Amino acid sequence: MRSVRLAFFLSLIVASALAQEEASCLQCAEWNQPQEPFRIYGNTYFVGVHGLSSILVTSGEGHVLIDGALPESAEAIARSVRALGFRIEDVRLIVNSHAHWDHAGGIAELRRLSGAQVAVSRASADVFRQGRSGRDDPQFGVASPFPPVPDVRIIEDGETLRAGPLALTARLTPGHTRGGTSWTWRSCEGERCLDIVYADSLTAVSADGFLYTRSADYPDALRDFARSFEILSAVPCDILITPHPGASNLFEKLERRERGERDAFIDPAACRNYASAARERLRKRVEAEKAEVEGGASR
């Protein structure tokens, strides 16, 4: 009976995470609802759809776009760029958080519209080239394919990419996928410059049957998560943005600012809190996995 209860508990953890993240596309229509673009801070703007982030960082010498949401989101993202008074053709560089269809799906079309270079982590490169995940993805078998991007530039941890005066630094933060990447840069309003972090997803979401504690396809998953938690706990971070805007309460902060709270987006503890919450969720997942394995061995 104890093992049955543990199995049920583990299934609830997996099901809950999948419902929130990327197990199926039942939520795609909801995620893809229109969202009016808005300035986050300085030259940093939200141009994504309501449930999925896409971030535009601008300059007079070209722009950088982070993430492309779903394949069907590309035109909406391009419209949002134009609605802000910028040209999609002036996007010089497109980068990615992780290679799943709900964050990378629109990149092929956005690349076609802009002519931009696409830069991704080494572990994400083959996924982009093929348009589908490999067996080392915890969501292998349930993550949908997306339009491939055959020609990508590979970036390394700590590498700074430039487009005109813009400088964005890649920090590899794997775990959710092997190629997960967070991005950091500074945006200024007048003489006030702040550190902005686009932190990749840190959720331990998987297909049924994948165990983070004993995966032959991704044996370093737990170690990768631990390193990612450390990185995001320590990185300079005045403003946190995440691939799913709800994970960083982005729209709640927008509402607070619209009500007059000028610095609503600013929270120097946000990245630490984000990593701490993810660490606790992973701890519970690991405990449930170990209990299930022990329960199975005792039967």
Q: Where are the domains of the chain?
A: 2-298
Chain segment 99-108, per-residue pLDDT in tens = 999 999 999 9
pTM recorded for the entire structure: 0.90
**Mean pLDDT calculated for residue range 117-143:** 96
Q: Answer positive or negative: Cα dihedral of 48, 54, 57, 63.
A: negative
Residue-averaged pLDDT of the chain: 92
**Mean pLDDT calculated for residue range 259-286:** 98
Q: How confident is the model at residue 16 (pLDDT cuts 50, 70, 90)?
A: very low
Burial of 68 (0-12, 13-18, 19+ CB in 10 A): buried
pLDDT computed for residue 257 by the predictor: 98
List the structure tokens of 123. Answer: 């572990």
Q: How confident is the model at residue 297 (pLDDT cuts 50, 70, 90)?
A: low
Q: How confident is the model at residue 250 (pLDDT cuts 50, 70, 90)?
A: very high
Strand partners, 120: 154
The span from the CA of 159 to the CA of 148, in Å, is 24
CA atoms within 13 A on the CB side of 201: 27
CA atoms within 13 A on the CB side of 284: 15
Q: What are phi and psi of 195, to 5 degrees?
A: -85, 125
Answer yes or no: is pLDDT of 42 > 90.
yes
239 neighbors 265 (Cβ within 8 angstroms): yes
Give the 3-state secondary structure of residue 66. Answer: strand
Give the 3-state secondary structure of residue 46. Answer: strand
pLDDT computed for residue 26 by the predictor: 75
Report the first-to-last Cα separation within the chain, whole angstroms.
10
Q: Which CATH number fits domain 2-298: 3.30.310.50, 3.40.50.1970, 2.60.120.10, 3.60.15.10?
A: 3.60.15.10
Chain segment 209-223, per-residue pLDDT in tens = 999 999 999 999 999
**Mean pLDDT calculated for residue range 161-184:** 98
Q: What is the DSSP-derived secondary structure letter of residue 200?
A: P
